[in-house]
Amino acid sequence: MKHPPPPPRRCGVVVAVVALVLLACLQIQYHHLKVDLGKAGFASGTQDNRIHSVTSRKPAPATTNSLSLPRGIVERHSDMYLRPLWDDSAAATHKSKKDDHNALLAMAVGISQIKNVDTMTRKFLKENYAVMLFHYDGNVDGWRHLEWSDKAIHILAHNQTKWWFAKRFLHPDVMAIYDFIFLWDEDLGVENFNPRRYLDIMVSEGLEITQPALDPDLSTDIHHRITIRNKMTKVHRRIYDNRPSMNCSDESKGPPCTGWVEGMAPVFSRAAWKCVWHLIQNDLIHGWGLDMKLGYCAQGDRSEKVGVIDSEYVVHQGIPSLGGPSLSSKTPRRSLDLRTHIRRQSSAELERFKERWNRAVREDEGWRDPFES
């Protein structure tokens, strides 16, 4: 006698219960995933960019955290213009429509150089260019009496170099509104220098990284022949030197014979600065070694895109203010000792920068030296 088959109802109940449990688990996992993605946000987007850049060797598409905002309200760039607290009508256009350039002068300054910095700043403000002063000696109030002081941006950090300041406060996203960045020392004489004419020449010559030539008769601290003014030219991009230690000729392809400027008074285009900012190392604050690699940021052939402008020249006074004696210093010997330590540190940083560059070249298998013959 055959037994009847078990009723299907019991099996159906078991299947339904299992399905409900699986569905609940999936819902919980989905909820956790949404929370994790929300927290990751920008970090996950940055990781995607890294993966994209490593695998494709092409620039990753720009990402933004503003996707939740209406497009018309998004302000993609910053600026350095000072805004009034009241009287909105007084906030006139900061840049005249007649201006051909929009530029920023940034300097690390100390109160002992106030007279020279005053002269330099006036020339740039006269052309409606922005000025940012990095105060390494902590004295900001000592500049308040100058009539232009409220027109400049003042940033204070004790005993830091201009490269340290530049890495923290001249990020390319903030500097994007400027066509040119002057990152200068405070001890330059500008009697024979006009910033507007200088930039006109830089543009007409197709230069991306430049410096003004140095007056050889009045400058007290000239380290490299390529920086010396040539009175017969408007711009020079190379030098000729038959000494065995230099051997600069038409065949020379790199610094210091061509494609090179010194770190005391560089001027960068917007595109060049975006590259240079990434080249500056956070901990190597003296910047030694950077000058030999600036040509990689020239947006092309450095022997054509990097040059020294002769017709607008300056005087390098060679005053080592940072780490030197102040106006009230009574211990010049100690100041001399500090300068010795600074120079030793600069030399040590130079070697570390060279090591980092060489290691980076070795480890990045996808990078090819554009200037390697």
Nearest to 174 by CA among 155, 194, 148: 155
- Residue 344 belongs to some domain of the structure: no
Assess whether pLDDT exceeds 80 at residue 262.
yes
Assess whether pLDDT exceeds 80 at residue 97.
no
- Residue 40 belongs to some domain of the structure: no
- Residue 149 belongs to some domain of the structure: yes
Q: What is the CATH number of the domain that holds 243?
A: 3.90.550.10
Angle at 84 between CA 79 and CA 87, to 5 degrees: 135
Most confident of 20-24, 57-61, 151-155: 151-155
Where is average pLDDT lowest: 78-87, 168-177, 218-227?
A: 78-87
The whole-angstrom separation of Cα 122 and Cα 334 is 34
pTM, 2 dp: 0.78
The whole-angstrom separation of Cα 233 and Cα 311 is 7
Structure confidence at residue 327 (pLDDT): 43
Mean pLDDT of 3-18: 61
- Residue 15 belongs to some domain of the structure: no
Assess whether pLDDT exceeds 50 at residue 230.
yes
Beta bridge partners, 184, equal 107
Boundaries of domain holding 257: 103-322
- Residue 39 belongs to some domain of the structure: no
Structure confidence at residue 45 (pLDDT): 41
The tens digit of pLDDT for each residue in 151-210 reads: 999 999 999 999 999 999 999 999 999 999 999 999 999 999 999 999 999 999 999 999
Q: Using DSSP, how many helices (H) and how many strands (E) does the chain show?
A: 9, 9
Assess whether pLDDT exceeds 50 at residue 40.
no
Where is average pLDDT lowest: 93-97, 127-131, 166-170?
A: 93-97
Mean pLDDT of 299-322: 93
Structure confidence at residue 254 (pLDDT): 93
- Residue 201 belongs to some domain of the structure: yes
State which H helix or E strand residue 20 sits in: helix 8-40
The whole-angstrom separation of Cα 32 and Cα 166 is 41
Number of structural domains found in the chain: 1
Give me 38's structure tokens.
């929300």
Q: Under a CB-based contact definition with an 8 Å cutoff, are residues 105 and 120 in contact?
A: yes
Structure confidence at residue 211 (pLDDT): 98
- High-pLDDT (> 90) share of the chain, %: 61
- High-pLDDT (> 70) share of the chain, %: 76
The tens digit of pLDDT for each residue in 264-307 reads: 999 999 999 999 999 999 999 998 999 999 999 999 999 999 99
- Residue 205 belongs to some domain of the structure: yes
Give the number of other Cβ atoms within 10 Å of residue 103's Cβ: 22
The whole-angstrom separation of Cα 108 and Cα 134 is 4
Nearest to 127 by CA among 173, 175, 190, 169: 190
Q: Under a CB-based contact definition with an 8 Å cutoff, are residues 313 and 179 in contact?
A: no
Q: How far is CA 125 from CA 95, 139, 266, in A?
A: 11, 22, 19
Nearest to 210 by CA among 176, 234, 187: 234
The whole-angstrom separation of Cα 190 and Cα 50 is 44
Angle between helices 42-56 and 8-40 (to 10 degrees): 80
Per-residue pLDDT band for 326 (boundaries 50, 70, 90) equals: very low
- Residue 164 belongs to some domain of the structure: yes
Structure confidence at residue 77 (pLDDT): 80
Strands (DSSP E) found in 304-357: 306-316
Assess whether pLDDT exceeds 70 at residue 67.
yes
Q: Under a CB-based contact definition with an 8 Å cutoff, are residues 164 and 277 in contact?
A: no
